[in-house]
């Protein structure tokens, strides 16, 4: 049997390489289970987001990590690209499609503080680092006394600001998923609950992107249905708010264990944390997929999946409309 070679483009950062490695391993196993011999070749790609020292807000946020990988896909330099879904603009990319969202790791944010302190235990006026307006707003809503410091850089650089020998901050806030993928969950002093720190839409979800219409063995099997439904609701909400990834907007979708309900919670906050709009809604799912049971075949899934994805999108759009009716655009700079 001849092996099919699949080229996966990846950014050079440790987080990107780890994420790509997870997907590459899962792809090789899924293809092998289907009786296909797949060799994965990793193609390194550099992006503006990796090169620049400017803050995310300065760079304009949306898409800085993504464009070079997408160009590589379109130029046929690679076959698949692995993105953090939360870094992907909500607008569809012409000529490309997201073919799989593997099972989500934790969606939540994590406080990494000196001396293992939790948020409530930080001293008055403590300096906490984050480059994210969403995290800043919610930190200030919980603890108005904190001094939130704008920071940038890869995960290790940011951790060093709070935990390194020359630390100048009391704590930093990072995505729990990124830390888990890097094997650095040991530095987490508190996983922040969504009623304190609503995560970014798509946080903790990986998106596997390809040229539209392409087909590589094993890739479709990487898709995790509850993850796709949650991500669809979160990202449709973000798109309907016309908000970018630098807007102070959080959202979290959760599929119930019986597969019958998709719950969506969302937060829109003012940048100084003094006003926080929080709402939730839910929709009914077909329960065609149940956690712990083997994944149905695509043929079995298609009709119910199309229906569930559509309901998830409607849930996100309706919750966004409700937030807009309640004054979301007056509270937060959405664009």
Residue 109 CB, nearest approach to ligand PBG (Å): 8
**Cα 70 to Cα 10, 26, 47, 64, 254, distances in angstroms:** 11, 22, 10, 11, 29
And the tokens for 303?
């009709």
Name the burial class of residue 123, with classes exposed (0-12), middle (13-18) and buried (19+) by CB atoms within 10 angstroms of its CB. Answer: exposed
Interface residues with ligand PBG (CB under 6 A) are 84, 86-87, 174-175, 177-178, 203-204
Residue 13 CB, nearest approach to ligand PBG (Å): 9
Residue 258 CB, nearest approach to ligand PBG (Å): 26
And the tokens for 330?
């007056």
Between CA 108 and CA 106 the distance in angstroms is 5
Residue 88 CB, nearest approach to ligand PBG (Å): 10
Residue 178 CB, nearest approach to ligand PBG (Å): 3
Between CA 333 and CA 268 the distance in angstroms is 10
Question: Which amino acids are annotated catalytic?
Answer: 87
Residue 16 CB, nearest approach to ligand PBG (Å): 9
Closest CA to 80 of 222, 275, 175, 284: 222
């Amino acid at each position: 049997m001849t092996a099919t070679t699949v080229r996966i483009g990846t950014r050079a950062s440790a987080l990107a390489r780890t994420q790509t490695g997870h997907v590459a391993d899962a792809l090789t196993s899924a293809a092998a289970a289907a009786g296909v011999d797949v060799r994965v070749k990793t193609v390194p790609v550099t992006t503006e987001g990796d090169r620049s020292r400017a803050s995310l807000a300065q760079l304009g946020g949306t898409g800085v990590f993504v464009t070079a990988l997408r160009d590589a896909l379109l130029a046929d330099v690679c076959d698949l690209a692995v993105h953090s879904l939360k870094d992907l603009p909500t607008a569809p990319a012409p000529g490309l499609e997201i073919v799989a969202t593997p099972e989500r790791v934790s969606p939540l944010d994590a406080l990494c503080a000196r001396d293992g302190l939790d948020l409530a235990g930080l001293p008055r006026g403590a300096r906490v680092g984050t480059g994210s307006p969403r995290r800043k707003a919610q930190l200030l809503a919980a603890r108005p006394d904190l001094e939130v410091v704008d920071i940038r850089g890869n995960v290790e650089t940011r951790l060093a600001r709070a935990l390194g020998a020359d630390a100048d901050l009391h704590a930093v806030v990072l995505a729990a998923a990124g830390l888990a993928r890097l094997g650095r969950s040991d530095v987490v002093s508190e996983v922040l609950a969504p009623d304190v720190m609503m995560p970014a839409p798509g946080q903790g979800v990986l998106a596997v992107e390809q040229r539209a219409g392409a087909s590589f063995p094993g890739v479709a099997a990487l898709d995790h249905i509850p993850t796709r439904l949650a991500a669809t609701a979160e990202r449709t909400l973000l798109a309907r708010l016309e908000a970018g990834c630098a807007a102070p907007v959080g959202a979290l979708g959760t599929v119930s264990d019986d597969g019958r309900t998709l719950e969506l919670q969302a937060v829109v906050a003012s940048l100084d944390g003094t006003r926080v709009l929080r709402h939730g809604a839910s929709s009914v799912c077909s329960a065609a997929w149940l956690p712990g049971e083997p994944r149905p075949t695509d043929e079995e899934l298609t009709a119910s999946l199309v229906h569930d994805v559509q309901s998830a999108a409607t849930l996100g759009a309706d919750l966004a409309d409700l937030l807009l009716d309640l004054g979301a655009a007056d509270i937060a700079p959405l664009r």
